[in-house]
Structure 1
Amino acid sequence: MGTSNSSFLDERVDPDALPLAVGDFLALALVLTYGVVNHNGVDYLSTDPAGWILTMVPFLLGWAVCGTLIGAYSAGAAETAKSAIPLAIRGWIPAALIGLILRWTAMFEGGVEVVFAVVIFVAGLVALVGWRWLYFKIVG
């Protein structure tokens, strides 16, 4: 538990977790980009980069909020896969839900279908768990 002088965010974000944060966002961006290419073709990335980015924003925003609040970048998360992976799982579930809710609104195109919701939950979990497992295999 932190001192009265430390903020809630200070307890949730540790500078040693920066490699995890970078990798998490890259892993999610890669999975989301794969989905965009799968549905629209690779040319879409250059013909409509705004559409490509706006497809990713709801989920990356959801992850930024939930991952941080859950403690996916806390000091404990940066120590072992045993601590990092469960935090990613706990963070991704509400993060994906936020992303789906945002896509359901008029702010973002795409809408939400049950199949898409299942795919985004599973694909995001595989990306985050896979990346974090690989990170700790390499770093030790």
Structure 2
Amino acid sequence: MTSVRTALAHRVEPAPFTALVAAGDLACITAFVLLGVTVGHGGGDPGVDPGHVAVTVLPFAVGWAVTSLLAGVYARSTYASAKRAVVRTVPAWVGAALVAQALRATAAVPGGAAVTFFAVSVLVTLALLLPWRVAVSVLAS
């Protein structure tokens, strides 16, 4: 039986660089939420209610934590190629957005689920994540 450590060893490069990449990913996801809060239907200053921002980011961060590991976006081979970074990041983010919508559909997470919000979250966050991930692949090589 394969241990969790062995399974993750092929999907995550254990290095400080990976932590930096993960922080950049989280920054992209948070930027999407901040855009929605300030430009979208929130209409106010996100600094006024950081709890709202955190609660909105959380289901997306949880979704990304799960799907990014499954997709291997933190693997050495992903860092080595811009094309591979894009090919792994797109389905990982679509999956993360689906997880986020599933969480938002529960009573435990406010916000509710909506097909239109799913589509917006996929498109806008990919517009932020993909350039970052391509830049990571360039920096890593």
Q: Which residue of 2 aligns with 1:70?
A: 71
Matches within 5 A, 1:119-138: 119-137=120-138
Question: Which consecutive residues of structure 1, in runs of 5 or more, have no partner in the other structure?
Answer: none
Amino acid at match of 2:94: I
State whether residues 20 and 78 of structure 1, in contact with CA within 8 Å, keep that contact through their aligned partners in structure 2: no
Hey, what's the Cα distance between the residues in 1 that align with 2:81 and 2:14?
15
Q: Which residue of 2 aligns with 1:28?
A: 29
Amino acid at match of 1:8: A
The normalised TM-score by structure 1 is: 0.85
Q: Which residue of 1 aligns with 2:115?
A: 114
User: How many residue pairs are counted as aligned between the two chains?
Assistant: 137
Question: Which consecutive residues of structure 2, in runs of 5 or more, have no partner in the other structure?
Answer: none
Q: How far 1:114 sits from its partner (Å)?
A: 2.1
Give the 3 Å change call, closer, same or farther, for CA 88–46 of structure 1 in structure 2.
same
Q: How far 1:112 sits from its partner (Å)?
A: 1.7
State whether residues 80 and 140 of structure 2, in contact with CA within 8 Å, keep that contact through their aligned partners in structure 1: no
Hey, what's the Cα distance between the residues in 2 that align with 1:32 and 1:46?
13
The normalised TM-score by structure 2 is: 0.85
After superposition, the CA RMSD in angstroms is: 2.2
Give the 3 Å change call, closer, same or farther, for CA 74–55 of structure 1 in structure 2.
same
Q: Among the aligned pairs, what percent are the same residue?
A: 34
Give CA deviations for 1:12-70 in whole Å, capped at 9, x if unaligned: 11035513322211111111211112222342x23221111100100111001100111
Matches within 5 A, 1:81-96: 81-96=82-97
Q: Which residue of 2 aligns with 1:51?
A: 52
